[in-house]
Amino acid sequence: MKPPVCLKECSVWQINHPKPWKQRLTYKTSPVEATDNAFWDQFWADTATSVQDVFALVPAAEIRAVREESPSNLATLCYKAVEKLVQGAESGCHTEKERQIVLNCCRLLTRILPYIFEDPDWRGFFWSTVPGAGRGGGDEDDENARPLAESLLLAVTDLLFCPDFTVQSHRRSTVDTAEDIHSIDSCEYIWEAGVGFAHSPQPNYIHDLNRTELLKLLLTCFSEAMYLPPSSDSSNTNPWVQFFCSTENRHALPLFTSLLNVVCAYDPVGYGIPYNHLLFSDYREPLVEEAAQVLIVTLDYDSSTSSSPTVDGTTTGTAMDDVDPPGPDNLFVNYLSRIHREEDFQFILKGVARLLSNPLVQTYLPNSAKKIQFHQELLVLFWKLCDFNKKFLFFVLKSSDVLDILVPILYFLNDARADQSRVGLMHIGVFILLLLSGERNFGVRLNKPYSVRVPMDIPVFTGTHADLLIIVFHKIITSGHQRLQPLFDCLLTIVVNVSPYLKSLSMVAANKLLHLLEAFSTTWFLFSAVQNHHLVFFLLEVFNNIIQYQFDGNSNLVYAVIRKRNVFHQLANLPTDSQSIQKGLQRKKKTPEPISRTNSQDGVSMEGSRPAAPAEPGTLKTSLVATPGIDKLTEKSQVSEDGTMRSLEPEASQLSPEGNPPAALSDGEPWSGEASHSRRERRRLSSASSSGQWTPTPDWVMSWKSKLPLQTIMRLLQVLVPQVEKICIDKGLTDESEILKFLQHGTLVGLLPVPHPILIRKYQANSGTAMWFRTYMWGVIYLRNVDPPIWYDTDVKLFEIQRV
């Protein structure tokens, strides 16, 4: 076979090895022919190596030097390594020597590929065809030759179902002839029982190690996406993922189910024996991590640009029918969207919930249970499941099992709130809760009493999961770091969405909501940014929903509203003259805190909890693209009397009945995507000073103050305050419990304004969030792959690597 033609041919690595793999890399001055097998075989013939050895022996500077000074030889090295993988897949890797060669080629390509991707001139190299490598081997086959990338991907997928190398052989005895890798049905060799496969193969740690190395190479192939800058253009598909998830890959279905089942079946606790993980190596965990990462990358698909790939509920038959449904060309997304059996949903949900809850498992013996580290990948996977398979989403919300996902998410949010390096984790947790909160069942499920005591540094309370959610959100808003401010809109949208269904809030949660209103309705906060008043609108909507739809069980909230009635009166009498606006802004200069922490009645934290800690100085983190504003992130739906939802027209939903304009999610930016009319209106109502700084004007304050939805609350105060005061005087009451008892038996039937329709802001897929997920996912994968450091110190463009 002829070597690929390259422009500059001067030197290559030559390996002198007095001892195996203890060679020094030196340069050889002329291009080496691809036919010089004796030379090339030195690179993979060694036996005692690991992927870490390869990374140590092949330094970045030397890969780059060869790329610049001897492109011909680098090209031949890649081509020969792929050729070895193809030969291994063809032969079935029956000898130990063949397996060693395959693994060494795998490691070498994992090392080199990032340096191919970082150079724009090389990026197309794997998509070029190699002269003489036609499917028939002769020169006349060059037109239908496969690009090197396709040969590489097909060889790796074949090797992932290679008997005695990565899967258990089905031979009955050693006398039987070895199985032909091309005639086996890989669906019979799925790695783990679960979706679409009932048989759990015998664990084999060698197979797990080999699978892990091959999956690491796959992930490295897919990582070309890291070397392209972020772009909202959804036509930018990753060619590696596109080919891998196409019908060209004959193992697509068994590989998809293998990856999914290996992740969801994993139980890290280890037979319940304390400290078991310290005595035995767990070969399954690295495989599960790699499988989770490969899975989420193959599912990186912008659902906003296509018809939703979910089925209509009429499908019957096997786990995933063979009938070609309409849907994306990406087979992994297609298969995921077509899972529909209840037992499969149960298996997936139980598995994800078990793994997400793992870091929360408290034992009496410190460090006795194994803690997993791949919860961020699991959250992305759970997001994809809910986004691509609406039947799965409804299954999750059908029972209280959704709370097994909610509690770990709230734990992660609370734990990461002070850590700037985990801002991405905060976002994905909030996005998942936003998605769930768009469904009525989620709000209903939150009424279940919260009895599991996961140690969190939040006040002790007795109540429901709704109380837990509100208390954690309050903690994030009042004691998270500054970069979380763009999430406030999202957090309050979630509370608004669930509020019509909350039967009885605890006193602790009720006080937290009132404390937020108090903090957000100070004049300096309202006047200091163009979108801050939206937060007050959201909170008033929460109070209105609870008073109108759940008054009976919510005496704690009603009592808290009565106690803090001055906050509502101050809002109703908010000054709008220039002098008062300036005075309010002066107060801001004296109060640099983002939100007043006084009166938040935090009380004693839960036993066994640790305060949320900021990141260690020097911690690496990856940058994220801005998230779309809440108006782009959600669409409004109105709940009709029979409980069904109907989507409101975008024009009509630009302003809600309370008149609050769409809110923003990115730091300090005005909201995006609003009607040009309201943009002009805002420009007219607020003025920009010469420095380009936005300044509030009386007209601007009036424009939204007049729409504050205070009628329901004012009517409640008008009716109940005199009654409560009268009881206190008549009976000489000072005891809260007596007043609460009175409020429990009170009624406002016929006294309140006509209930407003319930408005739910449902998450909607869009290219902005698709891009956010891509940068977040690859950032997580970049930072988590440190042994070996696959992408470290290469010129990635999708995000920046920063130190806290």
In this predicted model, what pLDDT tens digit does every residue of 192-215 receive, in sequence order?
Answer: 999 989 988 898 999 999 999 999
Q: CA angle 599-604-609, nearest 5°? A: 125
Pairing assessment for the beta strands 645-647 and 634-639 based on DSSP bridges: antiparallel
pLDDT digits (tens, 9 = 90+) for 672-705: 333 344 544 554 555 555 456 788 999 999 999 9
Res 259: pLDDT: 98
What type of residue is 575?
P
Helix 423-437 / helix 390-398 crossing angle, nearest 10 deg: 80
Do 637 and 759 touch, CB atoms closer than 8 A?
A: yes
Give the mean pLDDT of 519-548. Answer: 95
Q: Please tell me which residue, 538 or 71, carries the higher pLDDT value.
A: 538
Rounded Cα gap, residues 381 and 586, in angstroms: 47
pLDDT digits (tens, 9 = 90+) for 451-491: 987 888 899 899 999 999 999 999 999 999 888 998 999 99
% of the chain with per-residue pLDDT over 70: 80
Res 752: pLDDT: 87
Mean pLDDT highest for which of 8-17, 88-97, 128-137, 315-324? 88-97
Mean pLDDT highest for which of 66-70, 443-447, 593-597? 443-447
For 467, list phi and psi in degrees, rounded to 5: -60, -45
Would you say residue 714 has pLDDT above 90? yes
Give the mean pLDDT of 356-376. Answer: 79
Neighbours of 58 (CB within 10 A): 18
- The rounded radius of gyration (Å) of the Cα atoms in the chain is 30
Q: Please tell me which residue, 501 or 626, carries the higher pLDDT value.
A: 501
Distance of CA 242 to the CA centre of its chain: 21
Would you say residue 46 has pLDDT above 90? no
pLDDT digits (tens, 9 = 90+) for 244-269: 999 999 999 999 999 999 999 999 87
Would you say residue 159 has pLDDT above 90? yes
Rounded Cα gap, residues 309 and 337, in angstroms: 6
pLDDT digits (tens, 9 = 90+) for 106-145: 999 999 999 999 999 999 999 998 765 544 444 445 557 8
Q: Give Cα separations from 121 to 7, 84, 126, 798 (angstroms).
A: 12, 25, 11, 18
Give me the DSSP letters along 191-230: SSSBTTB---PPP-HHHHHHHHHHHHHHHHHHGGGGGS--
What type of residue is 391?
K
Least confident of 48-62, 132-146, 557-571: 132-146
SS3 748: coil
Banded model confidence at residue 275, pLDDT cuts 50, 70, 90: low
By C-alpha distance, which of 257, 264, 258 is closest to 347? 264
Rounded Cα gap, residues 148 and 151, in angstroms: 5
Give the mean pLDDT of 649-659. Answer: 43
Banded model confidence at residue 765, pLDDT cuts 50, 70, 90: confident
pTM for the full predicted model:
0.88
Res 301: pLDDT: 87
Res 609: pLDDT: 77
Pairing assessment for the beta strands 634-639 and 620-622 based on DSSP bridges: unpaired
